[in-house]
Structure formats: C-alpha cells, structure tokens
Amino acid sequence: MLNLKTLAGRLFQLVFGWYVLLAIVVTGIQLGLEYSSIRTAISAELIALERTFSPSVADALWNYDQALLDSLAKGIAQTAIITGVKVENSYGRIVTSEGRIPGSDEQNPDNRWVPSQKHEVALLSASQLAEQHNKLTFGKMVLYSDRNVVLDRIKYSFLVILINSLVKAAGLWLIFYWAITWSLSRPLTELANSISSLSLKSDDDEPVLIDYPHRDEIGVLVASLNDMRIRLSASHRVLEQKVAERTQELEAANHRLEVLSSTDGLTGIANRRRFDEVLVIEWKRALRSRRPLTLLMLDVDLFKKFNDSYGHQAGDECLRNVAKVLRASFRRTSDLAARYGGEEFALIAADTDASSAKHLAEVIRGAIESLGQAHAESPYEKVTVSIGVATLTPEKAQQPENLIHMADDALYRAKNQGRNCVVLAAEDSSSQGLNTP
C-alpha cells in the first residue's frame, strides 16, 4: 500500500485530489446542462400537447360544454409532464382546472430555476382557425409542469453521470497508483538503497556506479550521482596519497628530530642523553643474559692548552677526529660511541670481557696517536688520549652508575700515570664513588 507520507504518496494525493475536485465540478456542470436540457424538452412537449388539445378545448369552450371541458382538463392533467391545467374565458374567469395550479411567485418564465414552468395558448374556434383574418380570442388554456417532473427525468441521467464518474475515478486511481508506484516510488526506493549500500572503502580501484536503464529525470539524477561518485572517489584517492605522503614526511621529520635530539652537533656521534639511554638498555640486557658489559671513558690530554694554543676551530676539528676513530672502532652494531662532555668521550661495548676491552682501548689510543695532530704543549708533541676501561657483569644489587664510577676512576688513574695510556678498572672499585683530585 502506498505510504502517503512519502514523496510518491504526497504526489499521488495531490494529483488525485485535484482530479476528484475537477470531476465534481465537471459532474455539476453536466447535471446543470442536463437540467436545462430537460426543461427545454418539457417546454417543447407542452407546445405539442397544446397543439393536440387546444382545438377540442376551444370548441368545448365555444359551445360552453362544461362536462367536456372538465373531461378534457382531467385527461390533459393525466399526461406525464402535466402537473396542472386551467382554462379561462375571455373575461379571465377560470372555467375549469385540474391538478396543482402554482402561485404567481412560482411562474417566472424567464428564470430557469423557478419551481414551475407554464405554457399559455389562446383558444380560437374551429371556424376562426379556418379563417386567416379576423381572429378573435375568446379564452386561453394554461399548462403547468413543476420541478419534480424535471427531477424525475434527471434521475436516470444523474445515475449515468455518477456511475461514469465513479468508474473514471476508480480507473484513474489505479492508473495513478501504478504509475506513481512503479515509475517514481519504486525507482527512488531502489536508488536510495543503492546509494546506502555503497562505500568508498570498496572503491580501491574503480568506484561502483549505480545502474539505472531509463533516460528520465531519475536517470539524470543517477548520472549526476555517478559523476559525483567518480569525482569523490578520485578525490579520496588523492587525499589518501597526500595523507600517505604527509605521513612519510612526518615520520622522516620525526626520525630527523629523534636523530638530532640524540646526536652531538659538533662530532656527529651520540650525545650524553643518548648515552644514558643506551647504557640503561645494555645494562638490563647484560643483567638478563649474565654477560659482561664494558665501558670506555676517554679524555683528550691537555685539551685546554691545545685550545689556547691553536684556537677553538682547531679544537673542534680535534674532537671530530677523535669521534671518527671511535666510530670506526665498532665491533658490532650495538656498540655506541658518545661525547660525554667537553673533551671527554665514552664507548659502550656489550658482551666484551676485560681483556678484549683493554685491547680495544689500546687500538683506539694508538689510532688517535697515529693521527699525528700537532700539540706543542703535550710531552708527546701530538694529540693523545687517556682511557679508563671498566668491565662488569651486572648484579641485581648494582646500578649502571657503578660501571660509570669504575671507568671514571680508571680514567683518573690513567691521567695520573702520565696520560696517553689505558688503565683497566678493578672490580672491587664498582662500589666506590668517583675520586676527584
């Protein structure tokens, strides 16, 4: 059943409502015309009756045969369309009458809607009728027919018109219902269902278009929706590509930021912040695996005097050269070289025992010395480093700071032993603090 709240229902209600209103107006006009036509036909019948009965009535009135006049009046009154009849003499006196004689207010011949209509005829004798001249009227006959006669005749016509209108209304109702349901409501419902079932996520390659075979207004709407869907899908792909590009750029920027935040700007190796993070990570790993962890602390010998003698630019270059040597000495990717502060450097070497650690430190010391960078204030007349080495297998009661204290203490002893040397920290120094001069 058609839902009157839908667009198709409202359209059906509007169209069929206007049709019913128009049908009522047309039916009313048809009944009015039929009413007027029947009144005209009755007038014609009254004239025919007058021509039939007026000679007999005229003779009876001429001969003043009252019985015949009464009989004729009764016979005329029994005619189907006659509701009243009267005969008057030349003095206007009613000689005979039969049936209902309406009042003067019901006898306006110019008004088609008065209750009664009449036909009046002058009565002439037979001899006068034969003559064409000198005609004398000695009376008149008036025939009456009221509205009931018209209504009796119009009943059939009204019934035919009513049945015709009802059949048309029922037929057009079915046509409207079928046309609106199948040509408007159903296509719109299918279109709405098709649109609701579509998703941009399913259009990875090409958008799924709505299929509508007819080239009507709904077809134009479907074509517009398909065009919009194609453009929307293209925009969606462009947006996804831009989002992917921006994501990559953001990831790259984050990576660069992370590198910058963990890299020393002068030497290009890890900074103190990164050193602290990696030391904690490697300490926990060594604690779980019960493997040794080594830390090398390096200090450029007499660096302040080098700076004073050669300038800060030469000092920066010296630090960069030390960093290059440290970076080249990595044995595995997990090793980390960092600038600990000023002219002091550190190197973390996981899973490295004491002998290997001391050997690695000697290699680094020798490589820096072999650079041969002049240092007039040094007893070795070149740039050298002192290295403190600490190797420890972590215990639960210990902290990474213990390893730092051991390496720092060994570095202090290396400086006290004349610099440009490597000193290995004793394990019993892991619980002691850093000794400072």
Q: Give the pLDDT confidence score for residue 113 in this predicted structure.
A: 53
Taken in order 129, 133, 134, 139, the sign of the CA dihedral is positive
pLDDT digits (tens, 9 = 90+) for 39-61: 888 888 888 888 888 888 888 88
Give me the mean pLDDT over the 23-27 stretch.
Answer: 84
- Closest by alpha carbon to 342, among 278, 267, 422, 418? 267
Q: Are 350 and 392 in contact (CB under 8 A)?
A: no
**Coil, strand or helix at 140:** strand
DSSP state of 100: -
Q: Give the pLDDT confidence score for residue 432 in this predicted structure.
A: 46
pLDDT digits (tens, 9 = 90+) for 349-378: 999 999 999 999 999 999 999 999 999 999
* Separation CA 294–CA 356 (nearest Å): 9
Q: Give the pLDDT confidence score for residue 130 in this predicted structure.
A: 45
Question: Which residues make beta-bridge pairs with 275?
Answer: none
Catalytic residue (one of 98, 251, 343, 427): 343
* The two structure tokens encoding residue 116: 């009664």
Active site residue 343: yes
**Coil, strand or helix at 288:** helix
| Mean of the per-residue pLDDT values of the chain | 83
Kindly give the interhelix angle for 354-369 and 312-328, rounded to the nearest 10 degrees: 140
Q: Give the pLDDT confidence score for residue 153 in this predicted structure.
A: 76
* The two structure tokens encoding residue 240: 């996804």
**Can you give the pTM of this predicted structure?**
0.48
Q: Give the pLDDT confidence score for residue 262 in this predicted structure.
A: 86
φ, ψ for residue 331 (rounded to 5)? -95, -30
The answer to whether residue 84 scores a pLDDT higher than 80 is yes
* The two structure tokens encoding residue 7: 């667009």
Q: Give the pLDDT confidence score for residue 3 in this predicted structure.
A: 64
Q: How confident is the model at residue 289 (pLDDT cuts 50, 70, 90)?
A: very high
